[in-house]
Structure formats: structure tokens, C-alpha cells
Amino acid sequence: MELKDIILDYKNRYQLSNKEIAQQFHVTHITVGRWLRGEVKTIQEETAQNMSRVLGYDVQSVLQGTAITLKKPVLGMAKAGYDMFLENDYLGEESVSLEEYQRGDYFLKVEGDSMINAGIVDGSYIYVHQCETVKNGDIALIRIGDEVTIKRYYKDRTKVELVAENPTVEPRVFTSKEAEMLPVKVIGKVLFVKHYL
């Protein structure tokens, strides 16, 4: 991975201006522009340390092509069912690749079997990108009032439908008005699931 790729990913992920990036990395916005154009391919040690602190991984190792292990937190339990609440406890960390590190935000341990046909089983870990919108059919982490669930999400002008991946679990359908009142809100997109034997 090149320096320009690291900076571009960070800029796009957090919707930052060159000036904001410059402030965080303690360089000028002109330097950030040169990085983004690929005019500069190496950085000074002090700058690398600042970048590593902000990004959460060893930038020099990535630039040198050295394999690095990165960690994301397991922030609690998510229920693959209904009428259950998200438990917000730190349960440890899971290893991820650099690409996964840049795409997602945290893991949740799954309880329940409503998403079993999607490979999301009781005791597995889902990796979540925190967001407020997903495409129709995406598997999402959804808040329904105080309850949190993992389901396939479908929305049109008149309704929101949450569909399980288990034939014994009925879909839940909310009118647009009900979805607004409760509320029914996407709080993350499930990127992948991890299983341990």
C-alpha cells in the first residue's frame, strides 16, 4: 500500500478536508495535497508516529509491505432474534487485516439463531461498519426502540421490513410512520461473520 492510498482512504472514510488531515498529522495542507497526488512516497519518522497514533496502526510497516496484525474491539452482544437488547460490554479484541480495519468499526458477539441461514449463528462474531443507511437486502444491525436486532433490511416509501434468515422467524413489517415513531433505525452494516470451533 502506498502513502497516497492510506491518506485517500482516511480522507474518504471520515469525509475530511486536506486542512483537517494536516492538523491531525501535524503537517501543512500542501504536504497532504502532495501525498494525495503521489508526489511524496516516504515520510519522516515523527510524521509516521503522528499518523500511526491517529490511524491506530504502524504506518511505516504498511508502507514497507510488512504484514501487521490489527485489532478491533468486541463491544458486547447482539441478538439474532427479537425482543432482546444490545449489551454494551467490552469483551476483548479480534484480529483483522488492514483492509478490514479500514472498513469496519467493531465486533459484536451474536446470541440467537434467526440469521442461521446467512451463517450468523449463536456464539459467532459479526464485524460491523457503523452507519445509518444500507442497501435493500443488506444484513444490518437495527435499533427498534430500545431493542437491537440483526436482520436483512428492506425499505420503500411505505414500509420498513426486517427479514430473518431462519424460516421459523416471521418478518417484521413497520409502516413508515411506525418506523419513524419507534424509531426503527439502521445503526450498522454487517460486513462479515467469524466462527470459532
Domain-wise residue ranges, the chain: 3-63, 71-194
Options 2.60.120.260, 3.30.565.10, 1.10.260.40, 3.40.50.300; CATH for 3-63 is: 1.10.260.40
Catalytic annotation, pick one of 114, 124, 155, 189: 114
> Which CATH homologous superfamily contains domain 71-194?
Umud Fragment, subunit A (2.10.109.10)
Model pTM? 0.74
Instruction: Tell me the β-bridge partners of 107.
Output: 74, 127
| Strand, helix or coil for residue 177 | helix
- The verdict on whether 151 is a catalytic residue reads yes
Can you say whether the dihedral through the CA atoms of 45, 49, 54, 55 is positive or negative? positive
Give 63-117 pLDDT, tens digit per residue.
888 767 788 888 877 766 555 445 567 788 898 888 888 889 999 999 899 999 9
Catalytic annotation, pick one of 72, 79, 151, 189: 151
Radius of gyration (C-alpha) of the chain in whole angstroms: 20
